């Protein structure tokens, strides 16, 4: 099970299980994250089986496909199959700014410590680390920068102009 961190530290008790093709492996009453295709096809079945449902978007998925289903979801996870694949940043921004998702947004996959600050600024709340990553080191990625010069998705944080003055 991957480690999960957020701005408060390491989440020790993450109730979410990711569906990997075997429905029998997920006990009734579990919180389950479904790939988009599984969610589209079997959301009604899972609603009766799971305590809560989330969706896993791949980099090529269109977030508009779930915008009408936000009331059914508790978490949206976005997969980063490679740290060099930046499409997840765009998906996060679209979910927050264009579609108004206010729930938990989770980055999963090949997440690197150096990306965590920017992922947070793109709208991600939580970060699923691989088992080989040190959560304490990854958390330091949230403290790399004290001032940001660009807009932050979903958050009304101050922006700093080139002259160093804070703007809104």
Question: For the stretch 26-63, what's the b/e string if a residue is b when 16 or more beta carbons lie within 10 angstroms of its beta carbon?
Answer: beeebbbbbbbebbeeebeebeebbebbbbbbbbebeb
Interval 8-23: pLDDT, tens: 888 878 889 899 888 8
Interval 60-70: pLDDT, tens: 999 999 999 99
Band of residue 153 on the pLDDT scale cut at 50, 70, 90: low
Judged against a pLDDT cut of 70, whether residue 155 lies above it is answered with no
pTM recorded for the entire structure: 0.84
Q: Which pLDDT value is given to residue 118? A: 87
Judged against a pLDDT cut of 80, whether residue 132 lies above it is answered with yes
Q: Which pLDDT value is given to residue 136? A: 87
Judged against a pLDDT cut of 80, whether residue 85 lies above it is answered with yes
φ, ψ for residue 116, nearest 5 deg: -60, -40
How do the domains of the chain map onto residue ranges? 3-167
Interval 101-115: pLDDT, tens: 999 999 999 999 889
32: β partners? 17, 53
Q: Which pLDDT value is given to residue 158? A: 41
- 124: which 2 tokens? 């991600």
SS3 133: coil
Q: Which pLDDT value is given to residue 78? A: 98
Does the domain at 3-167 match CATH 2.60.40? Answer given as no
For residues 85-92, give the mean pLDDT: 94
Question: For the stretch 78-107, what's the b/e string if a residue is b when 16 or more beta carbons lie within 10 angstroms of its beta carbon?
Answer: bbbeeeeeebbbebbbbbbeeeebeebbbb
Q: Which pLDDT value is given to residue 64? A: 95
Interval 35-54: pLDDT, tens: 999 999 888 888 888 889 99
- CB–CB of 120/139 below 8 Å? no
């Amino acid at each position: 099970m991957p480690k999960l961190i957020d701005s408060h530290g390491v989440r020790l008790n993450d109730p979410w299980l990711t569906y990997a093709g075997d429905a029998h492996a997920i006990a009734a009453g579990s919180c389950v994250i479904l790939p988009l295709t599984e969610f589209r096809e079997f959301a009604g079945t899972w609603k009766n089986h799971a305590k809560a449902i989330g969706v896993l978007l791949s980099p090529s998925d269109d977030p508009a496909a779930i915008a009408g289903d936000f009331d059914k979801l508790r978490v949206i996870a976005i997969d980063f199959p490679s740290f060099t694949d930046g499409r997840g940043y765009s998906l996060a921004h679209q979910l927050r700014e264009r579609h108004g998702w206010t729930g938990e947004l989770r980055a999963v996959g090949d997440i690197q410590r150096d990306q965590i600050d920017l992922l947070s600024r793109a709208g991600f709340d939580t970060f699923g680390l691989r088992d080989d990553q040190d959560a304490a080191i990854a958390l330091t990625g949230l403290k790399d920068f004290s001032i940001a010069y660009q807009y932050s998705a979903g958050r009304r944080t101050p922006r700093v102009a080139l002259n160093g003055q804070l703007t809104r």
